[in-house]
Amino acid sequence: MAHPAEPLPPEPSAPLSSVPEAVAPRFRFLPAVGTWKYHLLLASVAILFLGPLGGVAASYMNFSLGFFVASQVLSGILGSVVTYGYGAEGKHGANYMQTMAASVASLCAMSVLIQSMVWLGMPQPPAWQLMLFVGCVGMFGVGVGMLYTPLLVDRLQLDYPSGYAVANILRALTDKRLLKASIAKLGGGTGLGILAAWLTEKVAAIGALSISSSTVGAGMVVGSRITVPAMLMGIVGYAITPSLRSIGWLGPNDPYRKIGFLISLAMICGAALVDLALLAVQAVDRIRGRAQAPADTEPAWKKVNVPRLIAWVVGWGAAVVVVATQVLHQPAGFIIFGLALSLLFVLINGIAYGISDNNPISSAFVMSVLLMSLLGLKDPLVGLMASSILLISTSVGCDMQQDRSTGWRLGTNRVVQFRYQVLGIFMGAVLCVVLARVFMGAYPVLSVNQLDHPDVKVGQWGSAMTYKFVGAIRDLGTLSAHKVTALLVGLSIGFTLEVIRKVVRRHPAYLRYVQGSRTGFGVGWVMDSLVLASPYATAFGGFIALPATIWFGLGGILTSAFNTVSKRYRREPAPGEAVLPEDMSTMSLVGGGLIAGESLFYLFVGLAGLLALLG
């Protein structure tokens, strides 16, 4: 998150509100910006081509690799081709298209929920009922994601590394001046990302190092004050693993993150309680008129109708309850509990996503199962349906926040972007069910429960995410005491640490010291990275394996070292030389390129694998 020594870039200098409603394109055959024909063109390309392309790839990747790429990068690049004729203004149109396509892909990836039902031997509802349920939850999720945007994107100013990368790509590809100044850095990073991903897959020695170019790139985007705490959390977790095994918190071969993710989720929750409490106080002040800002200070592209947005969330939440109870015949209590948990975890996962580029949706799913176990639920079907609300909401809601972070850097109209995402939810809800039925019909091995039949030859169909979901559902009704203790420990650490950070970092004498000299800068770094590190950043080390935290940490250290050295040799730009915006720095471009490169590689691997099977 933002801090005095490494401020985030300023808001876009040319918001959409400064652009005329209809802008003439370079080519006569293109409709003018802002017209209905313009939006019809963008929506048609996104909903009929980019969305299904990303959706098929995401579904295949979840069935095979156990993770998915939501295709923002590819959709952004292809969308920029469509909007190239609009010049620099085309970045907004390309952003609308990648937003819609990403919504489709995010929901298509949820087809593993239907696979989980098959593994657990549950009766399959008719396709239209599943589509209706998934669509209603998706609509609820994007509303919640939009509701938290002013907090996570505007106020906390989280980086959302992949959103950062997409923003740079869209700006560069639609503006010749920026493209000329950034192509070497952005293109070089993308090439390195593709090469690293290829070498990881093809060379065993490199694959053994667990190198992830996107993880390194995310670290390069956010800097060492975020990555070092995460790395240290991973190292500490690795060090105490033998002790956790000896007291029964972990099995003989379990890694730290099997219990660490509970501590990390609780840490984020504890820290979020502090921030939300402060925001509530400020909201009361505004209502009373003591800190009310003038109505015209907010740019037009940022404005949303909050009462309507709240009505949207409440309305679609009610629709979820009606569909779940009246159509799918689920008990209302746990469905409402799933909706309530979504309100919390879209915020928690959004913070994790904004800092580390990792959206721990499976961790949120497992957490919801544990909490329902604590409430006495034992029915696996009810547990799966209620937990799927949380899974879908955190997927599309956090994706909404990432897309808003891209729009924040571009100055894209939020209301229009929201409408594109809603259209993507409609298509994604349909394709989610269709692709699940198609894949499992074409490849019967996908219907085999790998927990019951560990010796079955599954080939490329590893279904790691389904494996995790089904394993969690089977534990329904059994919440061990040590897991409750882990949650309480994490909550206490996160809350206490964030309170101390708020007190220290707001003290005027401390701020003058850390900003006043090189020594103060060094002390500030030590405080932010080691002594009073952000609980949000630290928590990332509990979500992923130790090698990933190391690469994430090294990426941030590389950026901080480069920025420190480059300040000594910085020169003034020559007359007429293109000057990149402040947030298109060398490290952000290279890091974003690494993220884009790995995303493109695995997306094409998924498509190639699917085409090979069909052939």
Q: Side chain identity at 14, as an amino acid letter?
A: A
Name the nearest CA neighbour of 237 among 268, 211, 259: 259
Does residue 25 lie within any of the structural domains? no
Which domain covers residue 479, as residue numbers?
36-285+305-567+582-612
- Helices (runs of H) and strands (runs of E) counted in the chain: 25, 0
CA distance 527 to 534: 10
CA distances for 315 relative to 140, 184, 311, 392, 584, angstroms? 8, 48, 6, 17, 40
Q: What pLDDT digit, counting tens, does each position of 47-83 carry?
A: 888 888 778 877 877 777 666 666 677 677 778 878 8
Does residue 2 lie within any of the structural domains? no
- Report residues of the chain scoring pLDDT below 50: 1-21, 290-291, 293, 295
Q: Which residues contact 102 (CB under 8 A, 6 or more apart)?
A: 54, 70, 71, 72, 75, 399, 403, 424
Name the nearest CA neighbour of 340 among 384, 361, 371, 312: 371
Q: Side chain identity at 126, as an amino acid letter?
A: P
What per-residue confidence (pLDDT) applies to 326? 93
DSSP string of 138-153, one letter each residue = HHHHHHHHHHTHIIII
CB 549 within 8 A of CB 255: no
The C-alpha angle with vertex 523 and arms to 518 and 527, in degrees rounded to 5, equals 145
CA distance 430 to 105: 11
CA distance 502 to 491: 17
Does residue 113 lie within any of the structural domains? yes
CA distance 392 to 323: 15
For 262, the token pair is 């509970």
CA distance 204 to 39: 47
Does residue 3 lie within any of the structural domains? no
What per-residue confidence (pLDDT) applies to 233? 92
CB 377 within 8 A of CB 59: no
CA distance 185 to 491: 41
Spell out the SS3 assignment of 519-559.
HHHHHHHHHHHHHCCCHHHHHHHHCCCHHHHHHHHHHHHHH
Tokens 């309170």: give the residue: 499
Q: Side chain identity at 397, as an amino acid letter?
A: G
Number of Cβ atoms within 10 Å of the Cβ of 177? 13
CA distances for 447 relative to 58, 127, 158, 466, 586, angstroms? 18, 17, 40, 11, 47
CA distance 571 to 574: 9
Q: Which residues contact 539 (CB under 8 A, 6 or more apart)?
A: 230, 233, 263, 264, 265, 267, 268, 352, 490, 494
Does residue 318 lie within any of the structural domains? yes
Does residue 10 lie within any of the structural domains? no
What per-residue confidence (pLDDT) applies to 314? 95
Helix (H) or strand (E) segment spanning residue 327: none
Q: Which sign, positive or negative, has the C-alpha torsion 373, 376, 381, 385?
A: negative
What per-residue confidence (pLDDT) applies to 4? 33
Does residue 189 lie within any of the structural domains? yes
Domains: count for the chain? 1
Does residue 351 lie within any of the structural domains? yes
Cα dihedral 344, 347, 351, 354 in deg (nearest 10):
150
CA distance 404 to 390: 20
Q: Which sign, positive or negative, has the C-alpha torsion 146, 147, 152, 155?
A: positive
